[in-house]
C-alpha cells in the first residue's frame, strides 16, 4: 500500500467560509469550512487560524484538523478557553456563512496512513483527541482494518468529545476506553484517575506488540504518558507526540 508524503505546498492564507457548526461538548464545537483551493491534508496535521480586529490587532492560534482527507470540507473542533483571544470567538460567535483566514496544512511527523500499518494505540488528553479522530475516520474511509485501541482522558463526562461517534466505533473494531480525572457520575464504568501504567497495559501499549503509539494533549499529559511508555519499555524515539500548552486560546 502506497504511503503518501505530506504535500510540499506554499503556506498561504486562505479565506474559508463556515459551512456548518455543531456542538461537541459543553465547551467545544466543530466548525465545518469550505476552503478554496485546499491542497489536501493527512490525518494528524493542523492549521493556523488568524483573527484581525478593526484596529489591526492580530491573534493567531493553531488547531488540529478533525476531518479525514477524503472529506470535501475541512473540520476543526475547538475547545473554549475562557480567557482566550481566539477560541471564544470560534466557539461562541462564529456562524454559518462567516469567513475566516486560515493556512495549512501544517506538520508531517504526527500523521498516520493505512500504509503505516498497526496496531495503533491512540492516547488522548482532552481536546488532544481531535487529530486522533482524523486518523480513526481515515481508517474507516480507506477500508483499513488495523487494530486500534483508544484511551481518552478527560476531567469529567461533559468534557468528552465525540461520545456518540466513538460509541459506534467501539462496535466497529475500535477498542475505546475512558478515564475521568476529576469527577465521575454514578454508575460510571470507566477508570477514574490519571493515566497510569496499568491502564496503558490494558489498552494494548505493550512494547512486545510493537504498536504505533500516538499521544496528544496538554503538555503535562503528554510528558506524563510518554514517561510511562518509556518505563514500559518503549523506544522514546518511536513515540509520536503532539502537545499544546497555555498559549492564550
Q: Residue 172's pLDDT is what?
A: 73
Q: Where are the domains of the chain?
A: 14-106, 114-244
CATH of 114-244, one of 3.40.50.80, 3.40.50.300, 3.30.70.1140, 1.10.3720.10: 3.40.50.80
Per residue in 193-225, pLDDT tens?
999 999 999 999 999 999 999 999 999 999 999
Per residue in 83-121, pLDDT tens?
888 999 999 999 999 999 999 999 989 999 999 998 999
**Residue 248 predicted with pLDDT over 50:** no
**Residue 249 predicted with pLDDT over 80:** no
CATH topology for 14-106 is Elongation Factor Tu (Ef-tu); domain 3 (2.40.30)
The residue behind cell 462496535 is: 171
Reduce the DSSP state of residue 150 to 3 states and report it: strand
Q: Residue 1's pLDDT is what?
A: 47
Per residue in 31-90, pLDDT tens?
999 999 999 999 999 999 999 988 888 999 999 999 999 998 999 999 998 888 899 999
Mean local confidence (pLDDT), 163-177: 85
| Percent of the chain scoring above 90 in pLDDT | 79
Q: Which DSSP letter does residue 70 get?
A: T
Q: Residue 247's pLDDT is what?
A: 45
Q: Label residues 58-86 b or e (16+ Cβ within 10 Å = b).
A: eebbebbbbbbbebeebbbbbbbbeebbb
**Residue 238 predicted with pLDDT over 70:** yes
Name which of 171, 113, 179 is nearest 146 in CA terms: 113
Could you tell me the pTM of the whole model?
Answer: 0.92
Mean local confidence (pLDDT), 126-132: 96
Name which of 94, 113, 91 is nearest 40 in CA terms: 113
Amino acid at each position: 500500500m502506497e504511503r503518501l508524503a505530506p504535500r510540499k505546498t506554499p503556506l498561504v492564507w486562505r479565506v474559508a467560509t463556515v459551512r456548518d457548526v455543531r456542538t461537541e461538548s459543553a465547551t467545544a464545537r466543530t466548525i465545518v469550512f469550505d476552503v478554496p483551493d485546499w491542497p489536501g491534508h493527512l490525518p494528524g496535521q493542523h492549521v493556523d487560524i488568524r483573527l484581525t480586529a478593526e484596529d489591526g490587532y492580530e491573534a493567531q492560534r493553531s488547531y488540529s484538523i478533525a476531518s479525514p482527507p477524503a472529506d470535501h470540507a475541512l473540520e476543526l473542533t475547538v475547545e473554549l478557553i475562557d480567557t482566550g483571544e481566539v477560541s471564544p470567538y470560534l466557539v461562541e460567535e462564529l456562524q454559518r456563512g462567516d469567513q475566516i483566514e486560515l493556512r495549512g496544512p501544517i506538520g508531517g511527523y504526527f500523521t498516520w496512513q493505512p500504509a503505516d500499518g498497526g496496531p495503533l494505540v491512540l492516547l488522548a488528553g482532552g481536546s488532544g483527541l481531535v487529530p486522533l479522530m482524523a486518523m480513526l475516520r481515515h481508517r474507516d474511509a480507506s477500508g483499513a482494518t488495523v487494530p486500534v485501541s483508544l484511551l481518552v482522558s478527560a476531567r469529567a463526562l461533559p468534557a468528552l468529545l465525540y461520545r456518540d461517534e466513538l460509541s459506534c466505533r467501539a462496535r466497529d473494531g475500535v477498542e475505546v476506553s475512558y478515564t475521568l480525572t476529576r469527577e465521575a457520575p454514578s454508575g460510571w464504568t470507566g477508570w477514574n484517575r490519571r493515566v497510569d501504567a496499568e491502564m496503558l497495559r490494558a489498552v494494548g501499549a505493550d512494547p512486545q506488540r510493537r504498536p504505533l503509539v500516538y499521544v496528544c494533549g496538554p503538555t503535562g499529559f503528554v510528558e506524563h504518558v510518554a514517561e510511562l511508555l518509556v518505563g514500559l519499555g518503549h523506544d522514546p524515539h518511536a513515540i509520536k507526540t503532539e502537545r499544546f500548552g497555555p498559549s492564550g486560546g
